[in-house]
A and B are shown apart, each in its own frame.
Chain A
Amino acid sequence: MNGEYGRPALDPARGDAGRRHDEFNRVWGNPRGLRALTIVNHTTVGRNFMLAGGVFFLLGGLMAMLIRTQLALPGQDWLPPDIYNQLFTMHGTVMMFLFAVPVLEGLAMYLIPKMIGARDLVFPRLSAFGFWCYIFGGTILLASLALGIAPDTGWFMYTPLSGAEHTPGPNADFWLIGITFVEISAVSAGVELVVSIMRTRTRGMTLQTMPLFAWYILAMALMIVFGFPPLILGSILLELERAAGLPFFDVARGGDPVLWQHLFWLFGHPEVYIIFLPAAGIVSTLLPVFARRPIVGYRWVVLSVITTAFISFGLWVHHMFTIGIPQLAQAFFSMASMLVAIPTGVQIFSWLATLWTGRPVFHVPMLWITGFLVIFIAGGLTGVMLALVPFNWQVHDTHFVVAHMHYVLVGGMLFPLVAGLYYWLPHFTGRMPSRTLSRWGFWLTFGGFNLTFLVMHLTGLLGMPRRVYTYETGLGWDWPNLVSSVGSFVMAAGVAVVLLDLLIHGLYGRRAGINPWQADTLEWATATPPSPYNFMSLPPVSSRHPLWDDPSLPEAIAEGRYALAVANHGRRETWGSDPVSGRVREVVHLPGNAWWPFVSALVLAVMCIGLLSKQYLFAALAAGVSLVLLLRWSWENGAHPNAAPDARTAEGDPPLHSRTFDGPGLWGMVVTLLADGALYMALLFGWFYLWTVAPQWQLPADSRVDWPLWLLASALMVGGWWLFRRRVQRLRDGEDEGLERALWLIAAIGLVQCVTLVATWHGSVLAPRATSHDAVITVFLLYLLLHCALATVMTTLQALRVRSGYVGRLAPYEPAVVEYWWAYCALVCGVTFAAVVLWPLGWGGV
């Protein structure tokens, strides 16, 4: 499919570069005004994530100031307990869900394509959709605070306190629905980042030459993919319990509140590392630049990143040491909690060795890195103390834990983040920060932070519990609380100075030159601030330090000396490369600006409001509309003229990804299914957990599952998948005759399968409000029905696309993607049948 788009001859004349820039801007440019809502470009979306995260940070900080003002002196009660409860719950929720994760994801979205030599993330519309879900979800959550009905049961929402009996108002619903909505954004960013890093690195960027930051973000993104689904499931179950009376956490009806704790902390502890790893990635990126030498022990750092990502999933029970788990089981988690300090220690020694053997220069970002090292190491050490079960029992739910948590999170995330903001500030705006203001900002924040939280360890050791809205004098807590409150205001002043610096540098900051810190990574080869397409041409890379190897690389890229330097075909293009070797395999064409992400997220927000106001019919209608919008969005894909106006590529270039069998969409589907599988595994865990451990687990005497119909439904799914697989194989062999007819047949099988599942539910004798047993089976059936219905819809859509000429022998890509969905559905149908029908036969059940 090669044709007229030959690479232009090198013409260094400015006129030629300007003409090419105009051509690229026509394809990649961002609209203004209301149409700015349609922008999908990763630079804009990533920046918007960071800006919104910054606003949420300030709001969360304001809540902290109110809390510290109340606690400054004993006996104060100007904040009544109900408002105080809302404030500390929202402070934790906002900081964790609306600030820490999104702002780091935003930074990753902004930087990753530039660092790996790509023009955009691989699913730009998904990024934009995630951003709008985040904004709308965050707004819904904060609206509850303005209305005085914010969540008030702690940021971890423990049951039974958060159940309908003890929290009858809508407070907890705002958390459950709002946070689940925001989590769509986190998971979509996770999928996006994994696939982008694996599949769109520039020519020659192998796994071992990939920047360390990309390793950290790859680990973080995969942790999101596996770590967030348990909480999403927990939130859905708790909301079902609150809204529909399905008992999952109610002991009397066979549930167990400890199940919530497991689901929450299965997410909650990895979350700490989801926040820490990208921050450590910032440190590993900046430190070698300012030490003016490559990092010591690149491979050791990668080793410790992968180890941390795994072990951090084996620590969750250390948040539950006081709830009566057998001591031996506690010891497993205690050991794992101590072990996780070792890979972190490896990274710290690598950073110290880099400084020791380098020629460090102390610019402002280095101040924040030093602050990070001091604070985070202290927080890590108290973490090892808390991993010891007897000590953990003593200080559980005291201010010691609050102090530890802030040392780890502020030290481990905020300080590196601000270091990174200062480092990449010239990249964002093209200007340098003020030396004086930036130093004042650091010292005030550093001093204020330690004044607040170092003393708070003592407050906790003196026995002051968390979450008390006031305290009496004479308990020894007066002066440490006063010191902490004064410190918090000093820290707030530091944040204000940093903010002032960030704001005014845009007006008065010195213009930054090219690569102002003499960095080694590719993001500094773009213009500053960057153009929407990042690179005029995509350079090959053969080492970890492309800009140290060739400082003139930015000019050569801008002159179009490298690959994909034309845009007159109207496509947004970047390389699709081999995940290991970086060998170029396809030209990935990316979708452009569109209303779909914004409108779909908006309708989903309407659905959330419908759920919150208990207008379920309205919510179902909104869900239906959003599904139609999402399907319409998916229509403009692959060989659709709006996605790839022209399939021809330049002489010598590989084909477009939509004309192959291994494009990024396939990878996107696999990673999405990993997330979906994690949610399913959490549900399976819940089922077995309740069966084996729930204190009053009960098998309803008259409960009966219509297993023959269920077996038939599972068999239909497996049969549908087998047929689908055969058709894809024939497509691989270049045979597309009868494809449309086959797809219609498979869609019909899917439809029959859905009807069979509904009949299974109808034919079973279930009382989902009476027992956890029947409630979980109902959720299983709903899960299967949803997946199988989607398989049917996607297959129908494929049949229509074959008819429209968007799928076929020359564009065979999409059926291969949908086949993975069928395979997954067949798998979960079989596993669920085994778990619900076969397992009880051997465990005294029905």
Chain B
Amino acid sequence: MQEYSLRSPYHPVQLVLGLSIWAVWFVIIYAGVSVACEQRPGGLQQGSLTSVNLVLMAFTMLTCGLLLFMAHHNWRRARRMWRALSPTQRFIVRLSVALDLVAALVTLAVGLPAVVLPPCL
């Protein structure tokens, strides 16, 4: 088996990296909304067009973009050396890329309410 470094697309850490990024994003948006509403409540008349929502949406899109980039980048790098990879390394690549895509999808879905709901109701 080819040796692997932490950044290689077939390192097992890739299996948890994408969803760990999702977890950090999730904690930040929840804490962000809670703190924002505690410090500056109101803004109901604006609906979802508030600065809090806009920051949340931007952060969601950025995180989602990062996860999609990771999936694409890892897949491209792995394809370049595909023949040299062992079946286990291929298994890790396929799984981790799929997990990055799942994390991107979950980020998008969980962040979606920020488009329609006011932050502090």
Contacts and interface: CB of A to CB of B under 8 A. Distances in A.
The answer to whether A and B come from one shared complex is yes
Interface of A: 206-208, 299, 302-303, 306-307, 310-311, 313-314, 317, 325-329, 331-336, 339, 579-581, 583, 688, 692-693
**What does DSSP make chain B's interface, helix, strand, loop or mixed?**
helix
A326 B88 contact: no
A303 B34 contact: no
A328 B88 contact: no
Given A310-B19, A581-B88, 8 more contacts: A306-B16, A317-B30, A327-B117, A328-B53, A328-B118, A335-B113, A339-B109, A692-B35
Given A314-B23, A332-B113, A335-B109, A580 B121 contact: no
B23 to A, nearest CB: 6
B64 to A, nearest CB: 14
B66 interface: no
Given A336-B26, A580-B92, A306 B113 contact: no
Contact of A581 (B23, B26, B86, B119): B86
Contact of A339 (B20, B29, B95, B106): B106
B88 A336 contact: no
B29 to A, nearest CB: 6
Given A328-B33, A328-B119, A329-B30, A208 B109 contact: no
A583 B4 CA distance: 14
Interface in B1-47: 1, 4, 12, 15-16, 19-20, 22-23, 26, 29-31, 33-35, 37-39
A353 B4 CA distance: 35
Nearest to B39: A692
B121 A299 contact: no
Interface string B64-102: 000000000000000000000011110110110011001
Contacts of B94: 299
A732 B98 CA distance: 38
Nearest to B41: A326
19 contacts: A207-B92, A302-B95, A307-B99, A307-B102, A310-B16, A310-B20, A310-B103, A311-B106, A326-B33, A326-B120, A328-B53, A328-B118, A328-B119, A332-B111, A336-B106, A339-B110, A579-B12, A580-B12, A688-B31
A299 B109 contact: no
B95 to A, nearest CB: 6
B114 interface: yes
Nearest to A327: B121
Contacts of B55: none
Contacts of B29: 332
B38 to A, nearest CB: 5
Nearest to A298: B91
Contacts of B99: 303, 306-307
Nearest to A208: B91
B62 interface: no
Contact of B38 (A331, A336, A692): A692
Contacts of A303: 95, 98-99, 102
B119 A335 contact: no
Contacts of A688: 31
Nearest to B90: A208
Give 9 closest A-B pairs by Cβ, nearest first.
A331-B113, A208-B91, A310-B19, A206-B88, A328-B117, A327-B121, A335-B110, A692-B35, A581-B1
A579 B38 CA distance: 46
